[in-house]
Structure 1
Amino acid sequence: MKSKKIENAEENTLKVSQDIRIRFNETDALGIVWHGYYLHYFEDGREAFGRKYGISYLDLKAQGYVTPIIKSSCEHKLPLRYGEIATVETTFINTLAAKIIFKYKIMNAEGKTVCTGETVQVFVDDNNDLSLTFPSFFKAWKDSYKLI
């Protein structure tokens, strides 16, 4: 079942942009970034988002939760090459479900979209139990950004 998006999500969009430099070890024999590294770039975006908005992995862990990814998608449009600077734009998608959804857009130095994607994370407590509702700290976080 698809989660409902909150109606005023566009008004309260939270996003962050993070520059990354393509390293040699991220490229394949063709000299382009190996497709699996794009998920690493998504994680760079999530970490930048967490630092900016006070909801990092360490913040979640301090509240007794982890947020494993249960779904990820990635659509490649153009290649990236060693030495290039790319920008990962990470956008929080507001939802009524007890999930964290991010959309990603990776752009090259020319501003062209090279990749888009999405991840979905759920809340799991220290007892390894899945939370079917927002943990109270996350509800308070959403409220602080007028997302509820």
Structure 2
Amino acid sequence: MKRKELYNEANSLTHSESVRVRFNETDPLGIVWHGYYITYFEDGREAFGREHGLSYLDIHAQGYTTPIVKSICEHKLPLKYGDVFRIETTLVDTPAAKLIYRFRIYDSLNNLACTGETIQVFVTTDGVMSLNIPPFYEEWKRKVGWIK
């Protein structure tokens, strides 16, 4: 039986950023190699973190890391060398001690090229996974209005 994820779609924050496809990200036909979309998700998460005060450095300063435990990537249309695309990164509110990011990549004509999701958990710098929301993240959620 599949476990239903508890989250509040209404409570989400999004960041949008434009990126240009680099030559080294393409195959001999000039099409983005499928593995680079995960890198684009990383670019989106980092930009989101910088904008919303939840960067990897911010998290690390609190004594945590956030390894990815699940990733999903669904390709709709190919991106090509030189294309400028937009990645929309959304953090979804969940009561669990994890970060759920959703991604939508649009080509230069605003066509949906790729969707995806990553799930990250909180692990202390000692390597212990946190089963409860860390205090700094709870405070961050309060700051953005997810907790009253």
| Both proteins in one fold, TM over 0.5 | yes
| Shorter-chain TM band | over 0.9
SS of equivalent to 1:13:
strand
Q: Which amino acid aligns with 2:101?
A: F
Aligned residues: 145
Partner in structure 1 of residue 134 of structure 2: 135
TM-superposed deviation, 1:78: 0.3
For residues 115 and 53 of structure 1, the distance between their equivalents in structure 2, rounded to whole angstroms, comes to: 23
Partner in structure 1 of residue 7 of structure 2: 5
Q: Which amino acid aligns with 1:121?
A: Q
Residue deviations 1:12-68 (CA, integer Å, cap 9, x gap): 321000111000110002210000000000000000000000000000000000000
Greater strand content: 2
Q: TM-score normalized by structure 1?
A: 0.95
**Matched-pair contact (CA < 8 Å) for 1:3–1:97:** no
4+ residue stretches of structure 1 with deviation over 2 A?
Answer: none
Identity %: 54
For residues 5 and 15 of structure 2, the distance between their equivalents in structure 1, rounded to whole angstroms, comes to: 23
Counterparts in 2 of 1:1-148, with a 5 A limit?
1-6=3-8, 9-10=9-10, 12-148=11-147
Unaligned runs of 5+ residues in structure 2 are: none
For residues 122 and 26 of structure 1, the distance between their equivalents in structure 2, rounded to whole angstroms, comes to: 28
SS of equivalent to 2:87:
strand
Residue deviations 1:93-133 (CA, integer Å, cap 9, x gap): 11011000000000011000000000000000011000001
Q: Which amino acid aligns with 1:136?
A: P
Q: TM-score normalized by structure 2?
A: 0.95
